[in-house]
Structure 1
């Protein structure tokens, strides 16, 4: 069923709401473009909304001007947010309220354990803290018991994770008084009414933790779809720190075509990105998306492609 949000009013709970949530640690690279385009295609094919959120909680890794550059590049590629872009750095009060709820229900506790304290345990926090209280500020961890969290991923299939054995009690508020990713993303997805999360498979392992937090906070669980990762020639995930990889905002067609091919989608011979995207939405089939992460066409070759 197709839904035109401009002509067919439906209750908000029935409307698809997807999002793309980059971190401003560098320019938009091909791997990020794949995630943006994939989430955009899911949303547009469902007749829903696509929202951009800037996840800028890690101020040490943030690159000055990167947020504006990412948004400008997305716009040049025809990928505009349907709603104003929010920044996580402006939402600390919301995250603190969620932490207070977890602590009040004894789901979260203060912890002074450092990474070196946890090394003998494989980095997994044991049932009890192994560090004594020190003068440094504590982090906050969520209690994990014997939960096995399962969910059906729209691309990767059935997933299960035993949180106690594989993760342990995990940090939701850092010792430097900053909200951790797992809590922030859960709070923001709920606040923005996100129904479907489409993102890279590198975050597949984080999803059970987020589902646990959703349950503890009484929040709705979105549907998840984890896209294959674009790998470099060394089979590692493409990184924003590799200077040769930013996509070319002044010439979007080659990278868009490559991203569509990477996602297993048909590519038209349109000579303008708007027509290319329109065709991609009409022909989009999520069943064509591969599960396995692969190396895309070398980016240097993309820039030489004749449009």
Structure 2
């Protein structure tokens, strides 16, 4: 199972004051919480090089060390950081970084080495090399490397070469990095989504959309020659919702897309054709629609209260008063 692997070399307790240590602890826990909200993924355990109660994160003016665990529990003292202390206590695992790795995996981690930087990522490459076993564990197991928020660990996705082959690993030391990783993962999922894997990939590819209960079957029947265009429309719709939520506007901005309603005559005569099972399983009317191509449509409901869009129909043009 992949984990969040703490980058031990990013920790320099003898150079970190108590105030700095507390701030770094806050940012680390915020980053881990953001990673736990990653679309399409279950929560992962945090793997540390030692028990958090004996892992020093800082020293006071007398040289007395304070552990990660003590710093995390000090967050209970303030209302604004109290939830982070609760989150720390709820983390899935505090096991040493090599726990639960079998000998074959450990051998693979020890054998693989980064050999060259990708263009423009020379500084990141040096950081990956410095992280050593922790970085290579993430590369081999698909984990995410997490560091304390200090130079040179202020980057997200790291790209490099191993034995001449392209390689990459996820890294985060602050919540902004998680946003970058989520965006990269979303774009990758959109490139990979197909009819067969739609159910598995849709949360990653289109995380801001919700889905009526009939959509999966509709995708199975959708014309193959226009399927990539349908996915493109879903991506645009997902981006519209994301921008809507960020803007706080009362209504979504459709941009280059055109959201259409149906005529009164169409709804009077053929409204039932636009009723499908909603995400809750109840029947709902999906009147608002947009074109996929001349013969296919995408119908949805705009939820202004929750700033969301629920897709209820993807398929051939439904009958109207005119057609």
TM range (shorter): 0.3 to 0.5
Higher helix fraction (1 or 2): 2
Q: Which has the larger radius of gyration?
A: 2
Higher strand fraction (1 or 2): 2
Normalising by structure 2, report the TM-score. Answer: 0.31
